[in-house]
Amino acid sequence: MKFQPVKGTRDFYPEQMAVRNYIVNGWKAASVRSGFVEYDGPIFEYLAMYQAKSGQEIAQQLFSLTDRGGRELAIRPEITPTLARMVNEKINSLPRPIKWFSVPRLCRAENTQKGRLREFFQWNIDVIGVDDVIADADVIFTSIDYLRSTGLTAGDIQAKISSRKLLAAVLVELGISGESLDAIYVLLDKKTKLPAETFDAMLLEKIGDGGVVEKIKKLMEITAVEQIADIVRPGPAVQQGLDEVSRLFVILSNMGIDNYCRFDMSIVRGLAYYTGVVFEVHDVTGRLRAICGGGRYDNLLKDFGGPAISATGMGMGDCVLEILLEEKGLLKERIAANKIDYFVACADERLFGRAVETACKLRTLGRIAEFAYKPGNLAKQLKQADSMKCRFCVIIGRELEECGKLIVKNMADGSQSQISMEEFFRGND
């Protein structure tokens, strides 16, 4: 019987593994640059933990199981609940601010489509314990800092930023009850995914007032903070939200990424637990799903049985990111192929031991070195070195061996030179 990979999963052959490592290593480097420290948790948790965050319907969106003890478990679809559990467990001993990052492997029982798989890797960064937009700005900066390091420019991507706090204040000012807000957030988050007529009809059904519906539709088109006043007269709550967003953009300008960022009230983020600044990073063409998204979630730790502590964070999956980097031609030029520093060849089979000794000494010195397991003629060994994309080929011959020398051949341009073994190893020390 021939087996195939499970739908929505990937096999990582060496070429694909190089891409994955490039992305993950870049995520980790960007996190460390911004002062985040790494954590991780178990690959499965109690199902109830995910239900506490996202409701009963989450059970159909993840892979769940019952263990031999009758416990209902789930393979993690995200790591934020694990973060909340871990922080709550040691909240009194953790220094503030808590700046953690993780790169978990996640699984979701999704319908697969471009940029969405059932198994994927996701970069998460979170700042806990800071009730100020400076933390939100730091999360956005770290996200853009990484994307910028891949070669993506402000002409390729944009961080669209809004505020759930500001949106709530405006909706209440328009006469929407606080109890209705969560349902409206979910609908507004689907605006770009629904036909205009369908969205309008659904919004009218929820609001019941055509005039208010028109104002909400105009609100979703706003791309400048000042335009809010054209929709509603700013009361104290609205003004507080406006001031907070304005200050955020000043900080982002100080951070040098304002050209990557713009205000966009259509960014809502459907999950109910967002409480303040929310953002998503998209390719400028809008053809792909969001590259990443996040925002402030000040109630999550409390909802998981901990104290009321401010928090903000972001998640970035590898699937959409890889598609964009590939389309922009930024992978081939930036992934250093697993190039071997030296291939040690011997022109005489009797020198095989010397070739092995030389290769392993180079490895001990920190160089990537290879040799033929079954030495053939020199031409075949040179061909093998070339196929393995080696930078240099070290050639050991009988006459050279007797005078303590070897040949170093540059595989890129074909040039070669003789050098004493002592000098060669000294240059690689």
pLDDT tens for each residue of 307-322: 999 999 999 999 999 9
Residue 128 pairs with which residues in a beta bridge?
98, 311
Q: How far apart are CA 230 and CA 9, in angstroms?
A: 48
Taking every pair of C-alpha atoms in the chain, what is the biggest distance, in angstroms?
A: 95
Per-residue pLDDT at 356 exceeds 90:
yes
- The token pair at 213 is 């519906």
Q: How far apart are CA 47 and CA 389, in angstroms?
A: 48
Lowest-confidence region among 25-34, 204-213, 292-301: 204-213
For residue 352, CA distances in Å to 156, 343, 364, 388, 396 come to 52, 13, 18, 19, 9
pLDDT at 337: 55
**What does the pLDDT look like over 246-267, one tens digit per residue?**
999 999 999 999 999 999 998 9
At 59, the pLDDT band (50, 70, 90 cuts) reads: low
Identify the DSSP state of 116: B
Per-residue pLDDT at 404 exceeds 70:
yes
At 199, the pLDDT band (50, 70, 90 cuts) reads: confident
Q: Give the 3-state secondary structure of residue 103.
A: coil
pLDDT at 58: 65
Lowest-confidence region among 51-65, 272-286, 367-381: 51-65
Q: Which of 374, 338, 339 is nearest to 356 (CA)?
A: 374
What is the average pLDDT across 18-33? 96
CATH topology of domain 14-41+79-327: BirA Bifunctional Protein; domain 2 (3.30.930)
Complete DSSP assignment for 14-31: HHHHHHHHHHHHHHHHHH
Would you say how long the chain is, in residues? Answer: 429
Unique residue bearing structure tokens 């929709």: 231
Per-domain residue ranges of the chain:
14-41+79-327, 342-427
Amino acid of residue 42: P
Per-residue pLDDT at 232 exceeds 70:
yes
At 57, the pLDDT band (50, 70, 90 cuts) reads: low
Complete DSSP assignment for 344-397: EEESSGGGHHHHHHHHHHHHHTT--EEE-SS---HHHHHHHHHHTT-SEEEEE-
Q: What is the CATH number of domain 342-427?
A: 3.40.50.800
What percentage of the chain reaches a pLDDT higher than 90? 67
Asked if the domains 14-41+79-327 and 342-427 are classified in one and the same CATH topology, the answer is no
Average pLDDT, the chain: 92
What is the average pLDDT across 350-354? 91
What is the average pLDDT across 404-416? 92
Provide the 10 A C-beta neighbour count for residue 59.
Answer: 16
Q: Which of 51, 26, 53, 110 is nearest to 316 (CA)?
A: 26
What is the average pLDDT across 380-405? 88
Contact status, residue 76 vs residue 82, Cβ threshold 8 Å = yes
At 336, the pLDDT band (50, 70, 90 cuts) reads: low
Residue 176 has phi, psi (to 5 degrees) of -80, 135
What is the average pLDDT across 338-345? 89
Contact status, residue 282 vs residue 160, Cβ threshold 8 Å = yes
At 429, the pLDDT band (50, 70, 90 cuts) reads: confident
Per-residue pLDDT at 56 exceeds 80:
no
What percentage of the chain reaches a pLDDT higher than 70? 98
Instruction: Give Cα 409 to chain centroid, integer Å.
Output: 40
pLDDT at 409: 95
What is the average pLDDT across 332-352? 84
Per-residue pLDDT at 279 exceeds 80:
yes
Cis peptide leading into 97, omega within 30 of 0? yes
pLDDT at 403: 82
Residue 387 pairs with which residues in a beta bridge?
none
**What does the pLDDT look like over 264-276, one tens digit per residue?**
998 998 777 899 9
Sheet holding 64-66, edge to edge: 44-46, 72-75, 64-66
How many Å from the N-terminal Cα to the C-terminal Cα in the chain?
52
